């Protein structure tokens, strides 16, 4: 038995990547995994697109976002 459509789309994961910088700030990026060929085929058939990757942010220690790119 094959996976349902929703189960297939659940395979596309969203993750947070945080990289410390040498000056104490942190580079923070929200990213989703690249769709596999099957996912892209399903997206195309449904006439859907994934949103663009959000821009990375640089955060001060314990503070708000300092800048985005």
1-13 residue pLDDT tens: 467 888 888 888 8
Q: How does pLDDT run across 15-67, given as a tens digit for each residue? A: 999 999 898 888 989 998 888 999 999 999 999 998 888 899 888 877 666 66
Domain that holds residue 43: 5-54
The reply to whether 24 falls in a domain is: yes
10, 51 in Cβ contact below 8 A?
Answer: no
The reply to whether 69 falls in a domain is: no
The total number of structural domains in the chain stands at 1
Q: Which two tokens stand for residue 50?
A: 């994934």
Tell whether pTM > 0.85.
no
Q: HEC states along 8-60?
A: HHCCCCEEEEEEECCCCCEEEEEEECCCCHHHHHHHHHCCCCCCCCCCCEEEC
């Amino acid at each position: 038995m094959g996976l349902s459509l929703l189960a297939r789309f659940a395979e596309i994961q969203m993750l947070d990547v945080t990289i410390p910088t040498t000056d104490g700030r942190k580079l923070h990026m929200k990213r989703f995994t690249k769709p596999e060929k099957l996912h892209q085929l399903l997206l195309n058939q449904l006439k859907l697109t994934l949103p663009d990757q959000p821009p990375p942010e640089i955060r001060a220690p314990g503070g708000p976002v300092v800048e985005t790119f």
